[in-house]
Structures are given as structure tokens and as C-alpha cells.
Amino acid sequence: MFPILHRIPFLFWCVVMAKKEPRKLIQRLGSILLGPSGTTKILETLPDSQQDRECAIVRKFIGAMAHFEHRALSPPTPGEEPADCLTQEGDQRVGIQVTDVVKFDHAHMRGTQHKYSEHIRELLSGCFSEFNGLSITLHYPAQDPSYPPINSKEGARLAQLVAEKLRASIPELKRWGIGQQAAYRWSEGPNDYHAVAFIQRLTTFDSGQTAPLEFSGNFPHLDTHLVLTHAIEKKLAKNYPPFPNGRFWLLAYGGEPFLVEDDAVADAKSLLQSRMHSFDEVWAFFPYAAQELGFPRKVWP
């Protein structure tokens, strides 16, 4: 439905707590782009400074507003209370309050997946060049049962299983022609931990192109659509005063597409309709990595 669907957020979109800003989040945005020639990994690290990070997101939002909504906003500058950033639309000043929307269990699971992919790559370090020209995408979206810690015995066995299965497939994979692809599923242990690998030949082995080996995919949880509502509700609880001499917007952004899906937007809109607040417009925003762009959804009014 939306132009974001060819972009799969992946494990490099991560969340860590900053030492100097204990309640703020440092983020790296990542996407795997699906195209006719295969998959491309794009990664962007956002600034450590809260103010610079917020302005970076607003710049992407301004690019998205021009592209998708045909609304022209001036480049952002640091804001003044209660706005995090300032911009202008026509002759009207706009103050933007920025908040990030994170589903922490998703972030934790992506972190676990990242550790597994790194360890599997290490286990294959002696032969990884044999996968040149391929794309290897590991997939375990449900995380049920959850992967054990990578430093546990079970976790080590599971990573070893995947590495061994990939290593055993090398002779077959080297015979593949460009465009050939297949899916493999491997299970380990009484808890039925499993891994699914989607492998595609993107170019010839002789090209020397190193194979990406990453997890991808979203996590299907029934309460995902409420995460946007909860983030907005926290902002409403602050009872911001009206923005002086201009309009006041709330920009809620996050690294997973559920943020801009219909049910998430509808639930958040119902909340905003039921409360008194000072926001003139509220937007949900899925920023793209390494582009001054993203996908915006208007939540209010």
C-alpha cells in the first residue's frame, strides 16, 4: 500500500541508552532494499547529540513533506521551548516537538539477532569468501521460542548449526546461476529453535562481491498498533502550552513501518480527538536511512 513496503527494517536499527542523556535514545537507521538485482543494505548512524539528532530527523521529515504532501517547509533550526526544532511554512512559523517511538521488545530481539549474525559470520570466517556474489538473509520473525543468549550453550549450538549448514551448502551454491534462489529451514534442540535462510545469487562468484549475512523481517505482535498511541499519550501528559507566534506540531518517528500503518494511526487519532492539547498537527514518520526522506502519515487533525 505504501512506498515503504520495499524497505525492510533490520537489526542494525538499534537502541542504546546514552550515558549523558539517560532518558534519550541514540539510533541507527537501517534498511534492506529489495530490488530486481537483489538486496541492498543501507545504514545510517544518527548524531549523538539530542538536538542534532532531532534536527536530522526533521530534515528527513521536511524532505518527505515536499515529496509526498507537496508542502514546502524551510530547513530546520534548533527550537525554543516547547519546540525542539523550528521551521517555516510560507509566512507561518512552525515549532516541532520530536519524539521517538520504540517497541523495546523488538529492539531487544533485533539486538539478539545482530549478535547471532555476527557470531555466525565469525564461525564462517575461514570460508566466507566462498559465498561471494550471494545474498544471505536469515529470518526468524516470531521469535517464539525466543533465541537463547548467544553466549549460552544452546545459543552456541544454534549458531554452530546454522554455520555448519551454510558451510555444507557451498558446493551447491557455487553452481548457481545469477538470479537463482532458495529458502532453507534448520531446527535445533527440543525447544525447536529454528532459522530460515533466504539465499540468492546476485552476481558471479568471481565478482568478489562479499555476501551480506543479516536478519530481516518484522515481529508480529498484536499490540504493535498501540505503541504510537502510548508515545503520543506521554507527550499529551506534559500539557505543553500553546506555541507563541506560530503553529505547534508533534512529530513521532520510529524505525519500523508499523508506525504509519492504518490501525496505529487510527488508534492514535482517537486518543487525540478525546483530549485537549496544544498541537495543531500530529504526524507519524518512518525515516529512510541515508536519504533526506521518509514516509509521513498525518494523525491529527
> What are the residue boundaries of the structural domains of the chain, listed by start?
49-103+222-300, 106-215
Task: Round to whole Å and give the CA distance between 65 and 86.
Answer: 15
The vertex-65 CA angle with 235 and 283, nearest 5°, equals 20
Q: What is the pLDDT along the chain (301 residues), one digit of tens a residue?
A: 444 434 444 333 333 333 333 344 546 776 666 555 555 667 788 898 989 999 999 999 999 999 999 999 999 999 988 999 999 999 999 999 999 987 656 666 777 888 888 999 999 999 999 999 998 988 775 556 778 888 998 888 889 989 999 999 999 999 999 999 988 887 765 556 677 888 999 899 888 888 988 887 655 554 667 889 999 999 999 999 999 989 999 999 988 777 898 999 999 999 999 999 999 999 999 999 889 999 999 999 9
In sequence order, what are the beta bridge partners of 95?
A: 86, 248
Rounded to the nearest 10 degrees, how much is the dihedral formed by the CA atoms of 122, 29, 18, 144?
-60
- C-alpha to C-alpha distance for 145 and 273, rounded to whole angstroms: 39
- pLDDT value, residue 218: 57
pTM of structure: 0.65
Residue 208: what pLDDT? Answer: 86
